[in-house]
Amino acid sequence: AQKITQTQPGMFVQEKEAVTLDCTYDTSDQSYGLFWYKQPSSGEMIFLIYQGSYDEQNATEGRYSLNFQKARKSANLVISASQLGDSAMYFCAMRVSGGYQKVTFGTGTKLQVIP
Amino acid sequence: ETGVTQTPRHLVMGMTNKKSLKCEQHLGHNAMYWYKQSAKKPLELMFVYNFKEQTENNSVPSRFSPECPNSSHLFLHLHTLQPEDSALYLCASSRITTSGDNEQFFGPGTRLTVL
């Protein structure tokens, strides 16, 4: 079975600073994908970034980067130059090969950006 | 309309009522999903449809009945719900591929309250 663990229920970061949101995963599959989603208070889940298990380089999308450490089974999200609009819930998720539509989500981290 | 839309955005119903949630995707995707999001719990996958065929029913009680008339529309019919069914119900869609990097796009959700 697949499992995603996000150990930080809440985080604070000063505006313009960088922040790292932790995510560890557990799977026996060799092929899998890792996702991060952002959920503002409006409720919609917004896709941020994807990392494939065979990707050798860490994924980056604008101010978002994924610190992928395969041996440690961690996929931390790094947000650089935080903005007030980054305040939201952040969810780490995983999909394994074969179960390509079954995504397992973590419990989320609530990020608050302080002016 | 673009992306994934859901109606209604808010719904309050009694335990004896029958109501339906509607989801529509305008992205040309061929897979659609229903998720339940309760407070302080991970997002729970309820149903998956591929090309209008249900491929996943994650042990959901029969008081939730999905319907997928075509690849763009998805319904969740509700009847004789319980107060513990109160949650945010999220619809998502994705493009089916074998590569694994097909992220899911989410709607804004329906906030359901069962009295």
Q: Within the 73-92 window of chain A, which residues sit less than 8 Å (CB to CB) from chain B? A: 91
User: In angstroms, what separates the C-alpha of B17 from chain A's closest C-alpha?
Assistant: 25
pLDDT at A98: 60
Q: How confident is the model at residue A38 (pLDDT cuts 50, 70, 90)?
A: very high
What separation, in Å, do the N-terminal and C-terminal C-alpha atoms of chain A show? Answer: 41
Residues A45-101 have pLDDT tens digits of 999 999 999 988 999 999 999 999 999 999 999 999 999 999 999 999 998 766 556
Mean pLDDT score of chain B: 89
pLDDT at B39: 84
The CA angle B105-A55-A91, to the nearest 5 degrees, is 35
Residue A105 to residue B43, Cβ atoms within 8 A: yes
The nearest alpha carbon in chain B to A32 belongs to: B100
Asked if B22 and B6 touch (Cβ cutoff 8 Å), the reply is yes
Q: How confident is the model at residue B98 (pLDDT cuts 50, 70, 90)?
A: low
pLDDT at A43: 86
Q: Chain B contact for A37, CB < 8 A? A: yes
- Cis-peptide, bond into residue B8, ω within 30° of zero: yes
d(CA A75, CA A58): 9
Percent of chain A past pLDDT 70, that is, above it, reads 96
Residues B3-59 have pLDDT tens digits of 999 999 999 999 888 999 999 999 999 889 999 999 878 889 899 888 777 777 778
* Strand runs labelled E in A28-102: 32-39, 46-52, 60-61, 64-69, 74-79, 88-96
According to DSSP, residue B27 is labeled: S
pLDDT at B113: 95
Report chain B residues whose CB lies below 8 A from the CB of A46. Answer: 106
Mutate to test the interface with B, among A51, A103, A109, A110 (most CBs of B within 10 A): A103
What residues contact B62, with CB distance under 8 A and at least 6 apart?
Answer: none
pLDDT at A56: 86
User: In angstroms, what separates the C-alpha of B56 from chain A's closest C-alpha?
Assistant: 9
SS3 B85: helix
User: In angstroms, what separates the C-alpha of B68 from chain A's closest C-alpha?
Assistant: 16
pLDDT above 90 for B101: no
According to DSSP, residue A59 is labeled: P
User: In angstroms, what separates the C-alpha of B8 from chain A's closest C-alpha?
Assistant: 13
What residues contact A101, with CB distance under 8 A and at least 6 apart?
Answer: A95, B31, B33, B48, B50, B55, B56, B94, B96
Q: What single-letter amino acid sits at A37?
A: Y
pLDDT above 60 for A19: yes
Report chain A residues whose CB lies below 8 A from the CB of B106. Answer: 37, 44-47
